[in-house]
Chains A and B, each alone.
Chain A
Amino acid sequence: MRRPIAFATVVVRDWVRSRSTVFWTLAFPLILLLVFGSVFGDVRVTSVRVLVVNEDLDPSGRPTQLSEAFVSALNSTGLLELRPVEPSKDLGEAMRDLGVYRALVIHRGFQEGLIEASVAARIDVITSTLEYVLANFGQSVPPENRSMIEEGISALRQMRSNLRAGPVSITFVRDDADPSAGAVEGVIRSVAQAFNLRLIGANDSVVLDSSGLGFRRTRWIDLYVPGVLMAFVMVNGVLGSSQMLADMRRRRLLRRLTITPLRRSELLAGLMFAHLLMALVLTVLTLSVGWGLFGSSFSLNALSAALIVAGSLLFTSLGLVVGTAFKEVEAVSAAASAITFPMMFLSGAVFPLELAPPAMQAVAKFLPLYYLVEGLRASGVYGSTVSFIEGLAVSLAAFPVLLLLGSVLLDRELTT
């Protein structure tokens, strides 16, 4: 134990004292987190412009109460910058004038429809409650009461069938070539859903899904925190260990250490252990910023912790291979960057894959980081084990292979 720890101490000291480390492992991830956090996480940032045509006017020509409320709910997400357009105007003309080719049209009858829908929803809640009682406690209900309830249910059904229960009448006019149209539609859809629920009072605890870009219920910042975290465990593992090894070789330190009692396996254990410690520091820092500044919902549980450990081992051993496969320090740096940066973006760690072209989404499936990030999101954000298992499996399969390859390459370098 003494020798691996002695070497791990060197790696950690080297890491702590090197300036590029501070950038790659602290500054850069935090910058990314701050950028993503404030663009996608902070609800006060307006980004996408959308025209709003409100045709639902009361007899005096003013917008109805509920249509106004809906517009202000959309506004409060902070994700859309709404531009009102007079319903009397031609929409196509307005689009050209303002240069905005996205519009939300709230049709006449919106308020009326919503009220009806809200009544219908209340009726649904009551009928299903009554049905539930009958189905489960039917035996203990006296027969006369029972038939009363049954009659009540059929009366409610009758009422319900006379109400409009379809979706509220709004239309999203979009240009098919508009890349952000899908995201905007997602925001509108989730606001409408939350709006409905709130309106009928079914569930007050439902929060407006303010960052419903794409079609997720979670906010993007919740997904960025694990993404950025795993991406930087990767960057640190691959760049850090390959640079360290290349530099040691340049200084003949690998040879120098070979003639001490430090065994190859002890050197590798020390390297892995040091990177594990760094991954831990990185985790604490990233999560503190995520929690403190953005109220990230990520939770560090046994599953997410296991994935961070697995990721650190996997990427440190990848760094070992990169660091020993090339002779020149420059070649090692070039290879390490050529692996880490594309992987960071292509794997969906710091860029929403949902908004990426299909080809890129397909590439992601070949990158280990993709599985680890998905696994970390699943375990840390949703508390789910599905992608967790894939992430763990990918690491456990790749880690020993890379470690073995790396130590063979190291041997080749040291004995001739």
Chain B
Amino acid sequence: MGIRNEAVVTEELVKVYEGGVRALDGVSLRVGRGEVFALLGPNGAGKTTLVEILLTLRRPTSGRAYVLGEDVSDPRSRSTVRSRVGAVLQESDSFELLTVRETLELYASLYGADRRRVDELLELFGLSGYAKRLYGKLSGGLKRRVLVATALINSPELVFLDEPTTGLDPAMRREVWEVLRRMREEGVTVFLTTHYMEEAEELADRVGFIVGGRLVAVGSPRELAERYGGSKVVRVSGLDRRAAEEVARALGDVRSEGDGLVYTASDQRDANRAVQTVLSIAPDAVITVSNPGLEEVFLKLTGYRITEEGEVA
């Protein structure tokens, strides 16, 4: 079977919490080695539940899950899994009163890793200049970088990052992305959760959409866009209010995005027709035609969009 060769395999995974919440409702998933996989979904979709089951922190109610070929429900494989993976848990934090170096050294001792690995990671994540700073005194972005570095101390084959950039401002988020790209260059398999479409688009080889404990679609961003996104997206901006109303009426199915309008065309021809319609109403309009992104895919699949805060709208 392929279980041994995959980084993560789940089969009909179900998790029902004590209160009766069905957090996972039959999730079957495969993540290959060396892949960056992003699990995308709104708040409460079941992302953390899935990650924590894979990390052996929670037991599934039914179904199976394998990490690096090990069955996570088997108590004997627990320590094997734990020693071969790394993780940044959701909303996790570190000891405020340890310095950055001491933090990494702590994890190095716990894993029996070489001290040279500490210097290597400080270097890799641009933390060398902060090695002597207390963790508690760092900015949010630097803290996340330290957390990601601790997840790599044991040179894991697979790293779980549960919402690694939530709560960060866009600049800090990009900083962390930079770090994650470097990780990818190291050849580590990354299992990432997020509710930012852009983050998955930027980083992931493959994306899985999860809603209400169910995996609704899996594939590379491109595949998904081709399959579900409609073929072209027409974005129009620079319209005054009257022109905007007129364009909306003429095109029919549009949605607003920021101060502009977005029309999802069924093919190139339809896109061209839409561009002509817009120009005939407002010759000064700024128009871009692009391939659809994950946002359109998600919208098409669920009828919802995910807000900045991770809520469905």
In the complex, the chain B residue whose C-beta lies closest to that of A17 is B97
Say yes or no: is B92 at the interface (Cβ < 8 Å to chain A). yes
Please state if A3 and B109 are interface contacts (CB–CB under 8 Å): yes
Given A18-B97, A253-B92, A253-B95, are A261 and B55 also a contact pair (CB < 8 Å)? no
B93 contacts A252, CB within 8 Å?
Answer: yes
Docked complex Cα distance between A18 and B83 (Å): 31
Collect the chain B residues with CB atoms within 8 Å of residue A416's CB: 17-18, 58-59
Q: Is the CB–CB distance between B82 and A10 below 8 Å?
A: no
Contact B87 A259 (CB under 8 A): yes
Q: Is B102 an interface residue (CB 8 A)?
A: yes
Closest Cβ neighbor of A16 among chain B residues: B97
A414 within 8 A of B: yes
A415 an interface residue at 8 Å Cβ cutoff? Answer: yes
Question: Is B238 close to A, CB under 8 A?
Answer: no
Name the distance in Å between A291's Cβ and chain B's nearest Cβ: 32
B1-51 contacts to A, CB under 8 A, are 17-18
Contacts of A415 in B (CB 8 A): 57-59
Given A261-B83, A416-B58: A251 and B92 within 8 A (CB)?
A: yes
Q: Which of A3, A258, A259, A261 has the most chain B CB atoms closer than 10 A to its own CB?
A: A259
Chain B nearest CB, measured from A409 CB (Å): 17
Report how many A-B pairs have Cβ atoms within 8 Å: 72
A255 close to B79 (CB less than 8 A) = no
Please give me the residue from chain B that is nearest to A2 by CB atom: B109
Q: How far is the CB of A252 from chain B (nearest CB, A)?
A: 4
Closest Cβ of chain B to A9, distance in Å, is 8
CB pair B98–A255 under 8 Å, yes or no, is no
Once the chains bind, are B97 and A3 in contact (CB under 8 Å)?
no
- Judging by beta carbons under 8 Å apart, are B79 and A14 in contact? no
Counting contact residues on chain B (CB < 8 A from A), the size range is: 20 to 34
Scan residues 63-114 of chain B and give those whose CB is less than 8 A from a CB of chain A. 79, 82-83, 85, 87, 89-95, 97-98, 102, 106-107, 109-112
Contacts of B79 in A (CB 8 A): 261
Does the CB pair A260–B110 fall under 8 Å? yes
Contact with B along A251-273 (1 / 0, CB 8 A): 11101111111100000000000
User: Which residues of B are found within 8 Å of A257, using beta-carbon distances?
Assistant: 110
B112 near A2 with CB under 8 A, answer yes
| A residues 371-397 in Cβ contact with B at 8 Å | none
Max count, chain A CB within 10 A of own CB: residue among B17, B55, B85, B97? B97
Interface membership of A6, Cβ < 8 A: yes
Q: How far is the CB of A415 from chain B (nearest CB, A)?
A: 7
CB-defined contacts of B95 to chain A, threshold 8 Å: 10, 13-14, 251, 253
Q: Do A258 and B57 touch across chains, with their CB atoms under 8 A apart?
A: yes
Given A255-B92, A259-B87, A10 and B112 contact (CB-CB distance below 8 Å): no
* Cα A13 to Cα B96 with chains together (Å): 11
Task: Please name all residues of chain B whose beta carbon is closer than 8 Å to the beta carbon of A259 when the two chains form the complex.
Answer: 55-57, 82, 85, 87
Rounded to whole Å, the gap between the CB of A10 and the closest CB of chain B is 6
Q: Specify which of B59, B102, B110 is in contact with A3 (CB 8 Å cutoff).
A: B110
| Alpha-carbon distance A138/B79, docked complex (angstroms) | 84
- Encoded as 1 (CB less than 8 Å from any B CB) or 0, chain A from 224 to 257 comes to 0000000000000000000000000011110111
Q: A256–B110 contact, CB under 8 A?
A: no
User: What is the chain B residue whose CB lies nearest that of A21?
Assistant: B97
Assess whether A261 is in contact with B111, with CB atoms less than 8 Å apart.
Answer: yes
Q: What would 14 A/B residue contacts be, using CB atoms closer than 8 Å? A: A2-B112, A3-B110, A10-B106, A13-B95, A14-B95, A17-B134, A18-B97, A252-B93, A256-B89, A261-B79, A261-B82, A261-B112, A414-B57, A415-B59
Instruction: Name A's B-contacting residues (CB within 8 A).
Output: 2-3, 5-7, 9-10, 13-14, 17-18, 250-253, 255-262, 414-416
